[in-house]
Amino acid sequence: MSRNPRACRRPNLYLSGVDDMDPIIDLHSDSYFMGQALREARKAYAADEVPVGAVVVHEGRIISRAWNQVETLKDATAHAEMLALTAAQVALGDWRLEKCTLYVTKEPCPMCAGAIVHCRPERVVFGCPDAKAGAAGGWINLLDANPPLNHRCEVTPGVLGEECLYLLQSFFREARENKKRIKE
């Protein structure tokens, strides 16, 4: 007989092996969209900008993408979130970002958190926290300050947080090394 005795004794071996494999990419998951925000952050890195990226998702579809362009545009307000919010408003033809989720690789700063509350997306998902200057719970929480602000966002922190942080750390390490090299 050619039957495999091991397969016979453990009939579920193959199936449990399949269960252990990485799941097929869920195109509607927070990690998928954060991966898209990370792609934007890498564009910032390539352009010598602090690598932060953002996307806005409306009913499961990306309606805007942006990366930090403070140096490129010589504009201190050109954070990834600000650019993504503006582009999302244009895409929807409305300043109210109802049924939208903003994905950003780093916890928003106070300026961006203020803008987010004004645009009223339902959710904000961010990658790495910013304990020093973050305004989504790190330093302060402007996204959950109702009252006095008239909107509250559901916040999901830490999605692909390590990858987002690694990109920022690499950028600043490289910048420090370049500075040293110039001094020498």
Q: Which residues pair with 103 in a beta bridge?
A: 55, 125
CA 6 from chain centre, in angstroms, equals 46
Active site includes 81? yes
Q: Could you say which of 49, 59, 71, 81 is catalytic?
A: 81
Q: Is 113 in the site for Zn ion (CB under 5 A)?
A: no
Strand ordering across the sheet containing 123-128: 61-67, 53-58, 100-106, 123-128, 154-156
d(CA 55, CA 93): 17
CA 65 from chain centre, in angstroms, equals 11
Q: Is 79 in the site for Zn ion (CB under 5 A)?
A: yes
Report the nearest approach of Zn ion to the CB of residue 10 (Å). 54
Choice from 56, 112, 117, 160 touching Zn ion (CB under 5 A): 112
Q: Is 102 in the site for Zn ion (CB under 5 A)?
A: no
Report the nearest approach of Zn ion to the CB of residue 168 (Å). 13
Q: Is 160 in the site for Zn ion (CB under 5 A)?
A: no
Q: What single DSSP character describes residue 77?
A: T
Q: In this complex, which beta carbon is closest to Zn ion, that of residue 63 or of residue 66?
A: 66
CA 183 from chain centre, in angstroms, equals 35
**Are 24 and 33 within 8 A, CB to CB?**
no
Grouping H, G, I as helix, E, B as strand and the rest as coil, residue 47 is coil
Q: Is 106 in the site for Zn ion (CB under 5 A)?
A: no
Q: What are phi and psi of 140, to 5 degrees?
A: -135, 175
Tell me the window of 19-27, 73-81, 86-94, 115-123 that interacts with Zn ion (CB under 5 A).
Answer: 73-81
Choice from 97, 109, 119, 136 touching Zn ion (CB under 5 A): 109
Q: In this complex, which beta carbon is closest to Zn ion, that of residue 111 or of residue 145?
A: 111
Number of residues engaging Zn ion in binding (CB under 5 A): 4
Name the residues annotated as catalytic. Answer: 81
Footprint of Zn ion on this chain (CB under 5 A)?
79, 109, 111-112
